Amino acid sequence: MITNPTRQRSLRGHKPARPSPRSANTADHQAVLAWRLTPRDRWIIRMLHEHRVLTAHQITALAFPSFRSGRQRMRELYLWGVVDRFQPFVTLGTAPMHYVLAPAGAAVLAAEDGLDVKELGYRHDRAFGVAHSLRLAHTVGVAEWFTALVDRAHHDPPDEASRVVAWWSEYRCAKHFGDLTRPDAYGRWTTAGQEVEFFLEYDFGTEVLGKLAGKLAGYAALAAATGITTPVLVWLPTARREATARRVLHRAWRELDDPSLVPVATAAADLLNPDTAHPSPADQVWLPLHPAAGIGARCELHRLLDAWHLPPPTGPDGDGESAREPDTPPLMAPAPPPMPPTPPPATSRGPSTQKR
């Protein structure tokens, strides 16, 4: 009636409420998630547990055909208590939404691996604490580096069979190699029938270069202990810093007992061509440290083995697990495959049940 009009806000639907951390771990809520979660959702859960934090743009590039579909699905996972999110403050512009694992997602992961959530090593406050970490930008930067590789694999011609075979987080590397060295990541990239494995040192321009060069001794000790020669890739923000870093790295590299155990190559972010469709670390931006390596010019990532005359790495199994990981701690979840699962073909069950 004109004397008692309906307010606009009364015409809106109820705002969906997220489950509390306590209710997210109940059997009823887990039963609902068992019906709702797709293989891609479960892969995202594992990726967030492995890498601690991923941005909305990174998750979209990794697993979704468009930003809109990724945003919608991540919102649903947030409302179900599977993921949490935060938006850090930036002085210019707006930061993308950052996603971390929430209690319901951790419960799903623990159940899949036959563990308790405590045995998984998950704590909600610790997972969300990355929002205040002084290494947040570095963690996101390493994830962006590998996301660009995965995005490149998505768009390469099918006959090249490009894919990221392995992507280990800094935490996993510390668990396996921390007594000798602590790389920012370990990865494997394959394309055109060639595969290269590597340790990544991601430089943000804030670390003292002498400290970066000092890590080469740890890589040499690891190679001597395992009998595996693994290249070390140093990614720097600018070509100018790369030139300075190469002098410092080469001096430390020559002082090693056996420099051949630690092949090193450098590249800079500003060497990527922004006009290409999908610029990535797989491009022709890598320069081996040793001047007599056999390649005097910059080369693509998969061509580095030719520079050092190294044999290809031993093959991982079908789940993306490397031969480096036979001794995974029993209470540590296995590393997730870096490439998302292939979506199943559409069925005739109706649009409400199709996976997004």
Instruction: Look at residue 348 and tell me whether its pLDDT is greater than 60.
Output: no
Residues 90-103, mean pLDDT to the nearest whole number: 94
Q: What is the pLDDT of residues 108-151, one digit of tens each?
A: 999 999 888 888 889 999 999 999 999 999 999 999 999 999 99
- The answer on 289 and 212 residing in a single domain is yes
- The answer on 155 and 108 residing in a single domain is no
The answer to whether the predicted template modeling score (pTM) of the entire model surpasses 0.85 is yes
- The answer on 102 and 126 residing in a single domain is yes
Please state which of the ranges 188-197, 198-207, 252-261, 344-353 shows the lowest mean pLDDT. Answer: 344-353
Instruction: Look at residue 97 and tell me whether its pLDDT is greater than 50.
Output: yes
pLDDT band at 327 (very low <50, low <70, confident <90, very high): low
Closest to 41 measured CA to CA, from 84, 83, 79 = 83
- The answer on 221 and 183 residing in a single domain is yes
Q: How far is Cα 267 from Cα 114, in angstroms, rounded to an integer?
A: 42
Q: What is the pLDDT of residues 22-64, one digit of tens each?
A: 666 777 778 889 889 999 999 999 999 999 999 999 999 999 9
Residue 16 is predicted with a pLDDT of 61
CB of 246 closer than 8 Å to CB of 200: no
Q: Which residues pair with 233 in a beta bridge?
A: 200, 265
> Is 352 among the domain residues?
no
CB of 282 closer than 8 Å to CB of 201: no
Instruction: Look at residue 2 and tell me whether its pLDDT is greater than 80.
Output: no
- The answer on 101 and 157 residing in a single domain is no
Where residue 38 sits, what CATH number does that domain have?
A: 1.10.10.10
> Is 348 among the domain residues?
no
Residue 10 is predicted with a pLDDT of 58
Contacts 24+ apart (CB under 8 A), 17-22: 18/78, 18/79, 18/80, 18/81, 19/80, 19/81, 19/104, 21/81, 21/102, 21/103, 21/124
Q: Which residues of 185-200 are buried (b: 16+ CB within 10 A; e: fewer)?
A: bbbbbbbeebbbbbbb
> Is 107 among the domain residues?
yes
Question: In total, how many domains does the chain have?
Answer: 2
Instruction: Look at residue 291 and tell me whether its pLDDT is greater than 70.
Output: no
Q: How far is Cα 183 from Cα 169, in angstroms, rounded to an integer?
A: 9
Residue 15 is predicted with a pLDDT of 58
- The answer on 147 and 84 residing in a single domain is no
